[in-house]
Structure 1
Amino acid sequence: MVDIATRVWNHKWKIDPIVRSLIDTDFYKLLMCQSVFRNKRDTQVTFSLINRSDDVPLAKLIDEGELREQLDHIRSLSLRRNESTWLRGNTFYGKRQMFRPDFMEWFETLRLPAYHLERVGDQYELTFEGKWPEVMLWEIPALAVLMELRGRAVLNDMGRFELQVLYARAMTKLWEKIERLREVPELRIADFGTRRRHSFLWQDWCVQAMVEGLGESFVGTSNCLIAKHRDLEAIGTNAHELPMVYAALAEDDVALKQAPYDVLADWHEEHDGNLRVILPDTYGTEGFLRDAPDWLAGWTGIRIDSGDPAQGAETAIRWWKERGEDPRRKLVIFSDGLDVNKILELQAQFGGRVRVSFGWGTLLTNDFRGLTPDDRLAPFSLVCKAVEANGRPTVKLSDNPRKAMGPDAQIARYKRVFDVGAQVAQDVLV
């Protein structure tokens, strides 16, 4: 097992790559990339970094030269032969050859496109522009680099023994969480923590701890590289990015209203089983389910990623019953702002009523809260989103209005088109 504290101490090397591989990314990004490659490959999209935590001055903490080194290193990466073999030949979600030959041939020659980096006050403006299948693969590595460089900036001031104690405390903290989860009957939980992880080595350690501590209750990881190295299931379906871009491309309000369902119609053609999971909250869960075509009720389940998770699950249960489906056979994946107490609460509330699963993110792979003076390693809310498609702004409404994004006029239009009523603002949890 890697001595993480010693490796951190040795980060004083000129460059220790944060992202080691093009498949050091979330599985759903590759699934979505293949769908985009098939259906919208020439769409021009801009992604942009958004720091929701203004109190974390990234440009003061992270040296611009070091950030550029890490980003340039990512641009030098290409798919390795053994990684291509794994993607081409492995079984994912019970299906062999998940990734089609034409997509793999394209991916095997890919280098990520150029980036634009500029300091604006105490923050960085980081954007990626180009063809959608190419620029979308910047999202996860860009977030991972910024999160880890911020951590390195804090850790750089710590001594060798101080680092050993810090990681010992963090390991103990996670193991105590695992011990509590061990007692949960029929638990199904996966690692969703790549995008805001403390570091790659720490995420890998957390996954190994989950494997040993939870056994079959731990169902896999979203991180493709770790899944490959640790012989685990790669977990993931789709994300808000797809409906946001499809909606931006809509020519009128009628097409806009239909866009989220067009996304899932394209997905339906490619995937079945546990990959048929709806993410309904991009423009409000209530309206999405109310207007959804009947064939979507036959899908395997729903992922709840904003708003009150219990309310979202109750809404889904009512919808399934109204459409003549048995909720006990449906999968509900909770994935927003989870930690042990919330996992225990939701499992107790919905176990037996639906098939419950959890995608545990930041507070699995980056919970250093309370372990440093002034809490300088506490996780924060950093995202990288598609903000423009073919010159048009994207919009996200969410079930939590504090997660809404887009120009005010377009937000108002989307609320009208999708008939979004009053919403309850909630704290944005990492």
Structure 2
Amino acid sequence: MVDIATRVYNHRWKIDPIVRSLIDTDFYKLLMCQSIYRNSPKTQVTFSLINRSKNIRLAELIDEGELREQLDHIRSLRLGRGESTWLRGNMFYGKRQMFRPDFMEWFDALRLPPYHLEKRDGQYELTFEGTWPEVMLWEIPALAVLMELRSRAVLNDMRRFELQVLYARAMTKLWEKVERLKAIDGLKLADFGTRRRHSFLWQDWCVQALQEGLGEAFVGTSNCLIAMNRDLEAIGTNAHEMPMVYAALAETDADLREAPYRVLADWHEEHEGMLRIILPDTYGTRGFLKHAPDWLAGWTGIRIDSGDPVEGAESAIAWWKERGEDPTKKLIIFSDGLDVEKIAELSTRFAGRVRFSFGWGTLLTNDFRGLVPGDALAPFSLVCKAVAAEGRPTVKLSDNPVKAMGPPEEVARYKRVFEVGAQTPMDVIV
């Protein structure tokens, strides 16, 4: 097992680039990328870094030269022969050749496009522009770099024994969570912690701890590189960026209203079974389910990624019943801000009523709360989102209004079109 404390202490040796591979990313990015490469290969988009935790002044913590060095390293990466072979030949969700030859030829030749970096008011403005299939693949590595450089900045002056003790405490903290999770009957849990991890080495350690501690209850990881190295299932389906871009390109309010369903119609053509998971909250779950076409009720399940998870799950169960579906045969994936207490609570409430699983993210791979003075390693909310498509602004409403993004006039328009009524703000932890 890797001695993480020593590697952190020696990180200036450059043996640990933060992002080591183009597949050190979430599996759903590659699934979406293939769909986008097929359906919208020339669409021009802009992605931007958004730090929701304004009190974390990243440009005052992280050296610009070091940030540029890490970003430039990512631009030098190409898909390795073994990585390409794994993507082409491995079985994902029970299917061989998930990735088409034309997409793999494109991916084999890919180098990520340039980035634009500036400092403004103690924060970094980091943007990526270009064709959608290329630019979208910056999201996960960009977040991983900023998160890990922040961790390194906090740990920079710690000595070897301080680091050994810190990581021993963090390992103990995680193992205590694992022991509590063991008591949950029927648990199914995956690692969703790539984008806001403490570090790559720490995420890899967390995955190994879940493998050993949870056994078959641990169903896989969203991280493709770790899935390949640890012979695990790569987990993921689709995300908010697809409806956000489709919606931005809509010409009329009627087209806008249909955009989230057109995304899933395209997805329906490519995937089946466990990959037919609805993400309904981009413009409000209530309105999405109210106007959803009947064929969507036949999909395998729903992922709940914002708002009150109990309310979201109850809405899904009621919707399936209204559409003549048996909720006990459906799957709900909870993936928003989870930790052990919430996982246990949701498991108890929905046991026997629906199938469910959990995508455990930041509080799995970056929970160093209370372990350093001033809580300087506490996780924070950093995202990298599509902010424009073909020069038009994108909008996300979410089931939590705190997560909404977009120009105010467009947010108001989207709320009207998608019939979003009163919403309850909820604290965003990560």
TM bucket, shorter chain: over 0.9
Match of 2:47 in 1: 47
Match of 2:155 in 1: 155
Q: Tell me the SS of whatever aligns to 2:185.
A: coil
* Post-superposition CA distance 1:314-353 (Å, at most 9, x none): 0000000000000000000000000000000000001110
Q: Tell me the SS of whatever aligns to 1:429.
A: coil
Q: Does the 8 Å contact 1:60/1:123 carry over to 2? A: yes
CA distance in structure 2 between the partners assigned to 1:314 and 1:16 by the alignment: 45
Q: Tell me the SS of whatever aligns to 1:96.
A: coil
Is residue 197 of structure 2 the alignment partner of residue 197 of structure 1? yes
Q: Tell me the SS of whatever aligns to 1:358.
A: strand
Match of 1:178 in 2: 178
Letter in 2 for 1:23: I
Q: Tell me the SS of whatever aligns to 1:91.
A: coil
Match of 2:97 in 1: 97
Match of 2:340 in 1: 340
Query: By how many angstroms is 1:356 displaced?
Result: 0.9
CA distance in structure 2 between the partners assigned to 1:202 and 1:400 by the alignment: 30
Match of 1:60 in 2: 60
CA distance in structure 1 between the partners assigned to 2:269 and 2:291 by the alignment: 20
CA distance in structure 2 between the partners assigned to 1:308 and 1:231 by the alignment: 34
Letter in 2 for 1:392: R
Match of 1:20 in 2: 20
Query: By how many angstroms is 1:15 displaced?
Result: 6.9
Is residue 400 of structure 2 the alignment partner of residue 375 of structure 1? no
Match of 2:254 in 1: 254
Instruction: Please list every run of 5 or more consecutive structure 1 residues that lacks an aligned counterpart in the other structure.
Output: none
Deviant stretches of 4+, over 6 Å: none
Match of 2:31 in 1: 31
Call closer, same or farther: CA 1:297–1:57 in 2, change over 3 Å: same
* Post-superposition CA distance 1:47-101 (Å, at most 9, x none): 0000000110100100000000000000000000000000000000000000000
Query: By how many angstroms is 1:185 displaced?
Result: 0.8
Match of 1:323 in 2: 323
Match of 1:302 in 2: 302
Q: Does the 8 Å contact 1:336/1:429 carry over to 2? A: no
CA distance in structure 2 between the partners assigned to 1:242 and 1:299 by the alignment: 18
Instruction: Please list every run of 5 or more consecutive structure 2 residues that lacks an aligned counterpart in the other structure.
Output: none
CA distance in structure 2 between the partners assigned to 1:52 and 1:301 by the alignment: 29
Letter in 2 for 1:400: N
Match of 1:142 in 2: 142
User: TM-score normalized by structure 1?
Assistant: 1.00
Query: By how many angstroms is 1:121 displaced?
Result: 1.9
* Post-superposition CA distance 1:26-61 (Å, at most 9, x none): 000000000000000100000000000011010010
Match of 1:130 in 2: 130
Greater shift in the superposed pair: 347-356 or 137-146: 347-356
CA distance in structure 2 between the partners assigned to 1:24 and 1:133 by the alignment: 16
Match of 2:426 in 1: 426
CA distance in structure 2 between the partners assigned to 1:16 and 1:89 by the alignment: 28
CA distance in structure 2 between the partners assigned to 1:294 and 1:211 by the alignment: 39
Query: By how many angstroms is 1:13 displaced?
Result: 2.5
Query: By how many angstroms is 1:232 displaced?
Result: 0.1
Letter in 1 for 2:139: E
Match of 2:277 in 1: 277
Greater shift in the superposed pair: 95-104 or 15-24: 15-24
Q: Tell me the SS of whatever aligns to 1:184.
A: coil
Letter in 1 for 2:403: K
CA distance in structure 1 between the partners assigned to 2:40 and 2:103 by the alignment: 13
Q: Does the 8 Å contact 1:22/1:77 carry over to 2? A: yes
Match of 2:353 in 1: 353
Is residue 213 of structure 2 the alignment partner of residue 213 of structure 1? yes
Letter in 2 for 1:146: L
* Post-superposition CA distance 1:357-396 (Å, at most 9, x none): 0000000000000000000000000000000000000000
Number of paired residues?
Answer: 430
Is residue 208 of structure 2 the alignment partner of residue 187 of structure 1? no
Identity between Structure 1 and Structure 2 (%) = 81
